Structure 1
C-alpha cells in the first residue's frame, strides 16, 4: 500500500455506471453527474451550467467527481475554482481540507444521490450504510461531504471474532520488541499483536466474562477497547470495518443495525442509532512490547497466526511505509503549532472531560501526577514501549524509586493491570485511555479537551 496521499488518490478510479435514478432529474444533479458519467458534450454543458448558476453548494459533489474523474480533473477543478474564488489546484486532498475549513458551504441536495451512486458502484453492500433516509443533514452527526472511501470494500478489513488464542509460551512467532495490545479483565489476560491487528483493525471477544471489541484505527494510531453490551439491548453489539473514513479515522459499524460509528468517540454518527444516546464504555488497554507483557503476564494468552485469513503477519510489514512517514494518507485539518500531526499522545475521555498527554513527556519522567476534571490521576509511562497506564491517585503523589512506584511517604505500591495496590491493601482503580496520533485527538477532541504541558 502506498502511503502518499496523491498516489493513493490516483489509484481510485470508479467505473462509469448508468444512472438508476428517475429520468426526470434536477438539472443540478445532472450537471454534477456529468463530471463522471456524461459524454464530453454533456460534461462541458454541465460545467458551464454550474458556473452560470454560480453557487458553491455543488463543490462537495464535484469533489467526488474530482477524486474519481481522472481524465477530467483539470476541468472539474477549474469549475470549483470559479465557484469558490480559490486557486487551490487539482489535488483532491487539498480541496478536502478547504471543505473542512468551510462548513458554511451547505451541500446541494444532489450530493446524496450522486455520492450514493458512485460509492454503490464501488461496492453495492455500501447501501447498508448509505440509506437516503439516514443521509439527511439533520439526521447525521458528521458531514456527508467529509465521508470518504478508504480503498476497501465493506469488511474488506475483516474483523477477528472470537479468534484462536495460544499460550504465551507457544508464541514463538513473536519477537521481543513486537508491540502488543495488552488486556486484562477479571484476571483474564490476553495479548493481541499489532502486526496481526493491523490487518484486521477489530476484534469481538468476551474477556473475563465481559463482551468487548478492540477498534484499532491504523491511520490514527489508536486502539480503543470498548464494552459492547449496551443497556437496553438484548445482545452485545458486534462490530466491523465499513470501508469508510472521516477525517482519516475509520468508521466502524455494528452488524445489528448497520449504523456507522466514530471509532474515536464510540458514538453512532450515521444510521438508526444516531439519536439513541449510546456511547460505548471504554476499558483499559495498553500497548507495550511482547517481552514486557510476557514477563509480567506469563499466563497470558496471545493471538494465534491461524486467524482464518491469509495475510503477511511478519514484524513491521503492515502499514510499514505509513507508520514511517510524517504524512497522512487521507485529509484532516491539524493544528501543528505545538505538536506534529503524527506525534503520539495518550488520551483519556472520562469523568465528563477529555485530556491528552504527549508521549514524549514520559521521556523526562516515568510518572506524572496530574488530574482530569478535578479527578487526581497518576500516569505511568514508557515512551520507548509506547506504553502508558493511568490510575486514580486520590490524595497520593507518586514517584519512581529503585524501579518501583512509591508514594509521598516512601511506601511502595504494586502495579497491576486493573488497580494500584498499596502496602495496606488500598486499591486505586485503573482509568481507561489509549494511545493516538495527535491529528486524531486534534480533530475529535481538540476543541473540548485539554493537553498536558509538562
Structure 2
C-alpha cells in the first residue's frame, strides 16, 4: 500500500488539511448559541473526536475532562488514535500525557510500542469504538465511514488492529479489465523482470511487479472466469481469487486499510472488508454468510522464464489509463531495500527475517492446515516432498526460483531438470505444466494452489503456521 514514507511518525500534510476543515466534510453536529457543538453526556465517541478540534479549546478541554473522569479500560486505543492523528506535536503531547498517566506506560511517541502493547492484551474496546472509528476516518474519506458504523456485531477480527494505510478508497487504483499485449510488444520488459504468472483454463497472463506494485489489484475475466488478483506490497503476497461465489460476482476494490500489515479488500455492494489472505469478509454485513472465495495458483518468476514456458501468454500493457513511473524497481524501492516494516504487527517472529520470502500451502477444506516453506530452503532443494493434513505434495522449484506444488500421492520424484521434465522413482518421465503434472498413460496430477509471501506478514496473520526452513 503506497503511503507517505514517514507515516509511522504520524503527522503529515494530508491529515492536517483534512482535520483543519473537518467541519466542512462529512460530520455535521448541532451547535449551541455560542457556536459550540451540543454533545450528549454519554456520547463517548464524540468526546474522543473533539480531542482533534485544536481550533476550539472549549471542546477539547471538555473532552479531556470527560475522558479523565470517566476513564475505563478500552479507551486506550481511542485516545491513542486521537494522539496519532493530532495535527500539532504540542497537542499530541498533551494527549500523550493523559495516555501515559492512565496506562502507566511510558512509550512516548513510539506508536509501534503503543499498538503492540494494546494488541497483546485481550480486546477490551467499548462498543462506541466502532462509531468513533467510523466518524474519525470519515474525516479522511467519507466512504470509510461505511466500513465501521454499526458493525460491532459484524466483525471477526479485532477492530483495534485495523489501521489506515495512508490512501483513500481505491486511492491505489485497481486495474479493471486491463489492456494486455503479446510478448513481442512488451519491449519495456527485461527478461530478468519479476512477473506474477497465472493460467486459467489455458489462458496464460503475466503481471509485471513493476506495474502491479502501483495498483495492487487487477480485476478481470481470465479463461472465462471472473477473477481478482490482489498484490499486498507490504506483506509480499499475490493471491488470485475467483470472485464469483454462489452466483454472486463480488466486485472487489482496495479499502485503504490494513490488518496486521496485510491489505484489506472491500466489496462495492456492501462495503464489507475482506481478508486478502483468506478471501472472506471480516467486517460488515457479509460476515457469517459462509462466503469464502476459491483461490487459484500464482507463480512468481521472471519474464524470460514465463514467456519461454508460455509463448502465447498475454502481458500487461503500459497503457493502463494511469500515469505512473513503471520502470523496474521504482515503486517501493526504499521499502524493499531494507527489512524494516512500515506498519508494525503484534509480534515479530525472528525465525526468518521479516521480508524473507516463503511459499504458502494451505488446505482450502481445512484452513487450519497451514505450511510456510522458506523460498531459500526450496532453492536448495529443487524437489521437495512433504504432506499437509493427509495430502502428500511435491514442490518443484525451477531455475528462476519459481515454485509449483502438485498433489503427488504416493509417487516419489527423484529428478527435475529445472524446466519441464521430472522423473519418478520408476524412471517415468512427467511433464511439468502450469496447472498439472502429466505422466505416462495420460495420468494427471493436480496443482496445489499456492502463493508467495513475506514471512512477517503471514506469520502475523496465522501465528500457528508451521515453518519449514
Structure 1 residue 424 displacement after superposition: 2.9
Q: Does 1:281 align with 2:289?
A: no
From 185, 189, 192, give the equivalent of 1:170. 185
* Corresponding position of 2:126: 108
Cα 1:30–1:255, aligned 2, differ >3 Å: closer, same or farther? closer
* Corresponding position of 2:306: 293
Q: Does 1:434 align with 2:438?
A: no
Question: Is the 1:56–1:83 Cα contact (8 Å) retained in structure 2?
Answer: no
Question: Is the 1:347–1:436 Cα contact (8 Å) retained in structure 2?
Answer: yes
Q: Does 1:119 align with 2:166?
A: no
* Corresponding position of 1:421: 438
Return the alpha-carbon distance in structure 1 between the equivalents of residues 466 and 383 of structure 2: 19
From 5, 8, 17, give the equivalent of 1:6. 8
* Corresponding position of 2:67: 50
Q: Which region of structure 1 is more displaced relative to structure 2, 140-149 or 1-10?
A: 1-10
Structure 1 residue 41 displacement after superposition: 5.0
If the length of structure 2 is used for normalisation, what is the TM-score?
Answer: 0.89
* Corresponding position of 2:223: 208
Structure 1 residue 70 displacement after superposition: 3.9
* Corresponding position of 2:175: 160
* 1:19-418 alignment runs, 5 A limit: 20-21=28-29, 23-25=38-40, 26=42, 28-37=44-53, 39-40=56-57, 42-71=59-88, 72-104=91-123, 106-130=124-148, 132-134=149-151, 136=152, 138-233=153-248, 236-350=249-363, 351-352=365-366, 353-382=369-398, 385-403=400-418, 404-418=421-435
Structure 1 residue 446 displacement after superposition: 2.4
Return the alpha-carbon distance in structure 2 between the equivalents of residues 191 and 402 of structure 1: 23
Unaligned runs of 5+ in 2: 31-37
Structure 1 residue 48 displacement after superposition: 4.5
Structure 1 residue 319 displacement after superposition: 1.0
Cα 1:286–1:265, aligned 2, differ >3 Å: closer, same or farther? same
Return the alpha-carbon distance in structure 2 between the equivalents of residues 21 and 56 of structure 1: 27
Structure 1 residue 160 displacement after superposition: 1.1
Give runs of ≥4 in structure 1 deviating > 6 Å: none
Q: How many residues align?
A: 445
Query: Deviation string for 1:3-55 (max 9, x for gaps)?
Result: 45534665643414235346342264454233211534543453344334342
Unaligned runs of 5+ in 1: none
Question: Is the 1:61–1:110 Cα contact (8 Å) retained in structure 2?
Answer: no
Return the alpha-carbon distance in structure 2 between the equivalents of residues 100 and 146 of structure 1: 7
Question: Is the 2:7–2:166 Cα contact (8 Å) retained in structure 1?
Answer: no
Return the alpha-carbon distance in structure 1 between the equivalents of residues 121 and 7 of structure 2: 21
Return the alpha-carbon distance in structure 2 between the equivalents of residues 9 and 343 of structure 1: 30
Return the alpha-carbon distance in structure 2 between the equivalents of residues 8 and 293 of structure 1: 41
State the secondary structure of the residue aligned to 1:380. Answer: strand
Cα 1:27–1:254, aligned 2, differ >3 Å: closer, same or farther? closer
Return the alpha-carbon distance in structure 1 between the equivalents of residues 301 and 154 of structure 2: 40
From 6, 15, 27, give the equivalent of 2:19. 15
Structure 1 residue 293 displacement after superposition: 0.3
State the secondary structure of the residue aligned to 1:64. Answer: helix
Return the alpha-carbon distance in structure 2 between the equivalents of residues 8 and 42 of structure 1: 23
